[in-house]
Chains A and B, each alone.
Chain A
Amino acid sequence: MKRPLQKALKVVFLTLYLMVMAFPLYWIVITSLKPQKEIFSFPLHYWPSQLTLQNYINIIKISKFHIYIANSLLISLSAAAIVVCIAVLSAYVLARFRFRSHRHVMLGFFLTQMLPGFVALAPLYLLMSKLGLINSRISLVLMYTVGLIPFSTILLKGFFERIPSSLEEAAMIDGCSRMSALIRVIMPVMLNGISATFIFAFVQNWNELFMAVMFIDDESMKTLPVAMNSFVMKFDVDWGAMSAGTVLSVVPTIALFAVAQRFIVDGLTQGAVKG
């Protein structure tokens, strides 16, 4: 007697939740496809009377959107690739060996995740200008790499710990050096973990705003978030162009997460579940 009621409540709750989660995305996509006039006309249309790509054409005309996308891609991909290379090594070492400063290194990594990072923002700006890296894509690749090393290491360490060390020991008995055992034997086994870390790093880089705004103001170097930020200031009322820009910014990362959702969830929840 209780069952059907419970089930109905569950369905209602989940449906409601689904709608609340999906609606903002739906609304920004629909807005971007509406003709300019319809965006600002009453009553609001929940489905446009006419679908148009005009907002997308406008945003590419009024700004260098293709350049921002190229910059974002270049910076996010390179930083993610470098992070993975560096973090694989440190994660492997931290997973396999217990050495004297092991605890300190881990604590040092965890602290970077907890301290308010903006304390370092102004000194970093001064440091970058001393190094002549203001308005350079290198500064962002460097900062994004460094910023993600601790988290990626913690993440990858969890994946390494799931692989028995007998695997590389066998390879080393067969004459592999530790390094080639790591590259040829271990890394292929944990490809899922490495992809999850890479995608996570890519998405973080793609979304990063504040360092990019501080370090870059040259039009030809801007990343997507920086461009969106100047948009907000310049065209605050042009919601057609703004929504098109937002959609273009979120499509790649949503697509990536959709494809790799399983690995990422798996990777990110590992540590937490172990407690």
Chain B
Amino acid sequence: MNDEQPSVIRRLRTGFRNSPRGFIFFSLLPTLVLVLVFTYYPFLRGIVMAFQNYQLFDLTNVHFIGLDNFKTMFNDAKFKHASINSVYWVFISLILQFTIGLSVALLLNKRFRGRGIFQGFVFYPWALSGFLIGLIWKWMFNSQIGVINDLLIRTGIIHERIGFLSDPNWALSSVIVANIWYGIAFFAIMLLAALQSVPSELYEAGSMDGASGTRKLFSITMPYIMPTVITTTLLRAIWIFNDPSIIYGLTNGGPAGSTHILSSLMLDKIMYGGDYGAASAIGIVMIGILMLYTIFYLTVTRSEKLGDF
């Protein structure tokens, strides 16, 4: 009896820490506490704000106002405009980033001299922030002394300078061009990695059966890399939808709100308006759209995937 007691205590003391259960608990503890307190709590708090009158400059007057923030939002022309812009922004960026990224990946898939350096250039925009990329393109798009106007005039494509960022007819397209430039790298790299995992026996078998290059692309390569295609396009669409940093750097939503997307409009309400309630209402609409999109996308692609494999 007396002999056993210390060992029980010892087991209780060190045993839990060294048992798999204890190890799991202590290893996950810091992560879970930090993420719950500083990510999930503020996030849920933000959702509640959507139903409150919550103005940074009037913090004594915080109270629940039901759906008023949503009513104001749906009557706001800026919100409607930003919603439509978000659709263009996401789909045009995504389709072109993907198509160009896939072409580059296909061309880089075979070894050639200088491929390493080339990959470096495909890759480097990842090291830059969206904000700085916005600034760099703002300089290039400048209507007076911008290099893009200069190049277009020199090559005779245009004869008069275009206000790429100051003309509401051009601004959204210009912002999307910068975004496409930024995002090609992601697809090129992810798809290249997927292409290199396609077993070469498949191509050999294809060649023996007399399949042409295009036939092999559509019957071997594409089905094989389909899981990567589905994951990357889904994730990328969500990131493009959520990330306002290029727009912030390039136009900050201007001219006259013509380049706002939902996330940049929301950011604008937080940083410059101090209207946290209105910002959160936009946030809730965004969460709703993301959920619907994800469910829709996964349902559609899963059926396709089943057909392929």
* A interface residue numbers (CB < 8 A to B): 10, 13-14, 17-18, 20-22, 24-25, 27-28, 31, 39-40, 42-44, 86-87, 89-90, 92-94, 97, 99, 105, 108-109, 112-124, 127, 142-143, 145-147, 149-150, 153, 177-179, 203, 207-210, 213-214, 225, 228-229, 232, 239, 242-243, 246, 249-250, 253-254, 256-258, 261, 265, 268-269, 272-273, 275
Kindly state the separation between the CA atoms of A205 and B36 in the bound complex, as whole angstroms.
20
- A93 / chain B contacts, CB cutoff of 8 Å: 23-24, 27-28
Kindly state the separation between the CA atoms of A41 and B206 in the bound complex, as whole angstroms.
59
Q: In the complex the two chains form, is A90's CB within 8 Å of B280's CB?
A: no
- A17 / chain B contacts, CB cutoff of 8 Å: 100, 104
* Residues 34-58 of B contacting A (Cβ, < 8 Å): 34-35, 38-43, 45-47, 49, 54, 56
Kindly state the separation between the CA atoms of A39 and B132 in the bound complex, as whole angstroms.
19
- Among B5-13, B73-81, B119-127, B162-170, the one that faces the other chain is B119-127
- B185 / chain A contacts, CB cutoff of 8 Å: 21
Q: In the complex the two chains form, is B287's CB within 8 Å of A116's CB?
A: yes
* B interface residue numbers (CB < 8 A to A): 18, 20-21, 23-24, 27-28, 30-32, 34-35, 38-43, 45-47, 49, 54, 56, 100, 103-104, 107, 118-129, 131-133, 135-137, 139-140, 142, 145, 147, 150, 181, 184-185, 189-190, 193-194, 197, 227-228, 231-232, 235, 238, 241-242, 245, 248-249, 263, 266-267, 270-271, 276, 279-280, 283-284, 286-287, 290, 294
Q: In the complex the two chains form, is B128's CB within 8 Å of A207's CB?
A: yes
Kindly state the separation between the CA atoms of A164 and B30 in the bound complex, as whole angstroms.
26
Q: Can you list the 9 inter-chain pairs with the closest CB atoms, starting with the nearest?
A: A275-B227, A207-B129, A269-B193, A119-B283, A120-B42, A123-B42, A123-B45, A119-B46, A122-B276
Partner of B145, one of A44, A113, A207, A246: A44
Subset of 22 A-B contacts with CB under 8 Å: A21-B122, A24-B137, A25-B136, A40-B145, A43-B150, A93-B27, A99-B24, A105-B28, A112-B39, A116-B263, A119-B43, A119-B286, A122-B270, A122-B280, A123-B46, A146-B39, A150-B39, A177-B18, A207-B128, A239-B142, A254-B127, A256-B127
Distance (whole angstroms) from the CB of B270 to the closest CB of chain A: 5
Q: In the complex the two chains form, is B181's CB within 8 Å of A114's CB?
A: no
Kindly state the separation between the CA atoms of A108 and B28 in the bound complex, as whole angstroms.
13
Distance (whole angstroms) from the CB of A87 to the closest CB of chain B: 7
Q: Check A90/B137 contact, CB under 8 A, given A43-B150, A122-B49, A122-B276.
A: no
Q: Check A89/B42 contact, CB under 8 A, given A207-B131, A209-B131.
A: no
Kindly state the separation between the CA atoms of A195 and B246 in the bound complex, as whole angstroms.
28
Partner of A115, one of B30, B38, B100, B287: B287
Q: Check A272/B127 contact, CB under 8 A, given A114-B238, A239-B139, A246-B135.
A: no
Closest to A24 in B: B136
Closest to A117 in B: B242
Q: Check A118/B42 contact, CB under 8 A, given A89-B27, A178-B23, A258-B124.
A: no
Distance (whole angstroms) from the CB of A138 to the closest CB of chain B: 13
Partner of A203, one of B127, B131, B184: B127
Q: In the complex the two chains form, is B280's CB within 8 Å of A10's CB?
A: no
Distance (whole angstroms) from the CB of B268 to the closest CB of chain A: 10
Q: In the complex the two chains form, is A22's CB within 8 Å of B121's CB?
A: yes
- A120 / chain B contacts, CB cutoff of 8 Å: 39, 42-43, 45-46
Q: Check A123/B147 contact, CB under 8 A, given A254-B124, A272-B190, A272-B232.
A: no
Q: In the complex the two chains form, is A90's CB within 8 Å of B28's CB?
A: yes
Q: Check A257/B127 contact, CB under 8 A, given A97-B20, A118-B283, A273-B194.
A: yes
Q: In the complex the two chains form, is B263's CB within 8 Å of A118's CB?
A: yes
Tell me whether chain A's interface is mostly helix, strand or loop, or mixed. Answer: helix
- B263 / chain A contacts, CB cutoff of 8 Å: 116, 118
Q: Check A268/B135 contact, CB under 8 A, given A119-B47, A250-B127.
A: no
Closest to B23 in A: A178
Kindly state the separation between the CA atoms of A169 and B36 in the bound complex, as whole angstroms.
32
Distance (whole angstroms) from the CB of A143 to the closest CB of chain B: 7
Partner of B123, one of A147, A243, A250, A261: A261
Kindly state the separation between the CA atoms of A84 and B53 in the bound complex, as whole angstroms.
40
Kindly state the separation between the CA atoms of A87 and B27 in the bound complex, as whole angstroms.
9
- B150 / chain A contacts, CB cutoff of 8 Å: 43-44
- A153 / chain B contacts, CB cutoff of 8 Å: 31
Q: In the complex the two chains form, is B279's CB within 8 Å of A122's CB?
A: yes
- A242 / chain B contacts, CB cutoff of 8 Å: 135, 139
Kindly state the separation between the CA atoms of A179 and B18 in the bound complex, as whole angstroms.
9
Q: Check A272/B135 contact, CB under 8 A, given A20-B181, A121-B270.
A: no
Distance (whole angstroms) from the CB of A91 to the closest CB of chain B: 9
Q: In the complex the two chains form, is A275's CB within 8 Å of B35's CB?
A: no
- A254 / chain B contacts, CB cutoff of 8 Å: 124, 127-128
Partner of A28, one of B123, B139, B242, B287: B139
Kindly state the separation between the CA atoms of A132 and B122 in the bound complex, as whole angstroms.
43
Q: Check A225/B131 contact, CB under 8 A, given A44-B147, A149-B34, A269-B193.
A: yes
- B127 / chain A contacts, CB cutoff of 8 Å: 203, 250, 253-254, 256-257
Q: Check A87/B31 contact, CB under 8 A, given A31-B139, A257-B127.
A: yes
- B107 / chain A contacts, CB cutoff of 8 Å: 10, 13-14
Q: In the complex the two chains form, is B39's CB within 8 Å of A147's CB?
A: yes
Q: In the complex the two chains form, is A21's CB within 8 Å of B125's CB?
A: yes
